[in-house]
Amino acid sequence: MVETIRHDILIVGSGLAGLRAAIEAARSSNGKLDIAVITKVQAMRSHSVSAEGGTAAVLYPELGDSLESHAFDTVKGSDYLADQDAVERFVSAMPGEIYQLDHWGLPWSRREDGRIAQRWFGGYSYPRATYAEDKVGFFEMQTLYDTATKYDNIHFYQEWFVTSILAEAGEFRGFSAIEMKTGTFAQLLGKAGIMATGGSGRLYSFATYAYSSTPDGMAAAYRAGIPLKDMEFIQFHPSGLIPSGILITEAVRGEGGVLLNKDGDRFMKKYAPNKLDLASRDVVSRGMMTEIEEGRGFKDEATGLDYLHLDLTPIGAEKIKTRLSQIREIAIKFRGIDPVEKPLPVRPVCHYVMGGIDVNIDGATRLKGLWAAGEAACVSINGANRLGANSTAECLVWGKITGAEAAKYAEGRPRPDSAGEKVQLEEKRIFDGIFHGSGATNPYEIRDALQKVMAKDAFVYRTGDGLAEALRTIRELKAKDFLHVEDKSRTYNTNLSDVLEVESMLDVAEVVVAGALARTESRGAHARRDFPARDDGNWMKHTLAFRGPEGPRLEYSAVAVTKYQPTERHY
């Protein structure tokens, strides 16, 4: 039996993009539209809450910063694969978002004159990372969630697992979902939808992401016929704490922390002589891996992981305790090191996906009535490499844009009566095929094998042979009979949700690796040892992956260039 729930606008995901979209849809429609926010976790446990260091915006042009500087830094950081019209829209909108959050009550850190404070981040020409100590994501989420709860027409469906996008005659109709508390299978029907489901970082075991950050939303779009764009570009943040992978924010280096090898050498002077530790993340991560591979790293005895040192002591004890208090707490709790006294062991860690669901500059997908925003989407402002502090900012800008666009689309339209036969087919696939299914292969072993091959062959440095082997392995894993559960309970069946996540992980990992294998160049976060140069003649284009019967079918689209022609990057 399929339960039917109806609203005007359906938003999947309760992170920064989803909450900002809900608020804007409610505001722009003057409370006339009924809005649902569907999230597989409790709303304040969305991964956005973990963002630490800053949100980028130009606040003080009188000090030399400018919208053009922010735009150029972003395009350069992207290794020129960003769509420049989208970047221009982004940087223009961001100052207003900072002040809007300020008016809603976000406790931004302040300068001595009382104005909002900003700090340096990697790849920037000016300090424009707006911060609230080192808890930016928490305070932004708290502010948006509190604001959203003030609207009577915003309804939260917490701990609901969305399994598919429902469409009919080329138009969005809704989503199918499982209420985890009861196991109820439902179709949520709406006039318009927004995907704000975040990234897919748990394709890697060593990651800064929450364990819930699996690519369910991306996979649902992919299965619904919407292409995924530029998925080969995975960002590896330079400073993941050993052995947990917990993020040590770039703000540490922005405040004066330095990276050191086992010889005590500040090695980034070799790889980025001007920006040093504050070069773009792809440059720093490659520098770190080169140091490790050439024998100038340390070895963690417990895990066997190689690492380097991130030394916070130049910052000074007082500044660490005030501006980086959460980082100090994390280091003490999870590593037993007080960074006031000793350096932290770090190595590159999976942190962000530059690609995502293909959308236009308004966040609209190819399915009429469906938008996407935040890390789940690829506008693209990040191209081949994202600059720090642009991610939370992107969530705010396109959360607002998609919320307003979806509200405009929904006003005056009738609610759909049904989503056709697909919801019955989806119920049968899940409950007859998986819940009551059987198989000899343990799905958790499939997940572990996938994460291992991604770490081995789709990490900071890649080769054609390694990517081809990874693609073969992923396809072998997909063919195994892992789609079954041992737990037959309907109540909070995490075994079922885990298996559904693994299924999505395999689909999206196949897209990542296929795109990486096809792209025979090095650009941004995609570094091929067998093709070490950037190739603008052949690869100044976006990858589009469509789902096909034999796997991803790759097509390509042009990059929007308005002002900045590609040149060699120097930091």
Q: How many CA atoms lie within 13 A of 32 on its CB side?
A: 10
CA atoms of 224 and 358, how far apart (whole Å): 12
Cis check for the bond before 380: say yes or no (omega within 30 of 0).
Answer: yes
Contacts of 25 (CB under 8 A, 6+ apart): 9, 11, 33, 35, 403, 404, 406, 407
Q: Is residue 143 packed enough to be buried (19+ CB in 10 Å), middle (13-18) or exposed (0-12)?
A: buried
Catalytic residue among 7, 45, 119, 237: 237
Strands 461-462 and 527-528: parallel
SS (H, E, C) 73-137: HHHHHCCCCCCHHHHHHHHHHHHHHHHHHHHHCCCCCECCCCCECEECCCCCCCCCEECCCCCHH
For residue 172, what are the β-bridge partners? 167
7 is catalytic: no
Contacts of 24 (CB under 8 A, 6+ apart): 399, 400, 401, 402, 403, 404, 407
Contacts of 283 (CB under 8 A, 6+ apart): 271, 272, 569, 571
Q: Where is 538: in which H helix or E strand?
A: helix 536-539
Q: How far is CA 220 from the centre of its chain?
A: 16
CA atoms of 385 and 123, how far apart (whole Å): 11
Contacts of 549 (CB under 8 A, 6+ apart): none
CB 499 within 8 A of CB 483: yes
Catalytic residue among 7, 47, 253, 547: 253
484 is catalytic: no
CA atoms of 372 and 363, how far apart (whole Å): 5
Residue-wise DSSP of 418-483:
--TTHHHHHHIIIIIIIIT---SS-HHHHHHHHHHHHHHHSSSEE-HHHHHHHHHHHHHHHTSS--
Structure tokens at 482: 């892992």
CB 137 within 8 A of CB 49: yes
Kindly state the DSSP code that residue 161 receives in the 8-state scheme. E
CA atoms of 469 and 403, how far apart (whole Å): 42
Structure tokens at 215: 């690519």
CB 534 within 8 A of CB 522: yes
CA atoms of 242 and 87, how far apart (whole Å): 34
CA atoms of 288 and 32, how far apart (whole Å): 53
CA atoms of 252 and 131, how far apart (whole Å): 12
Active site residues: 237, 253
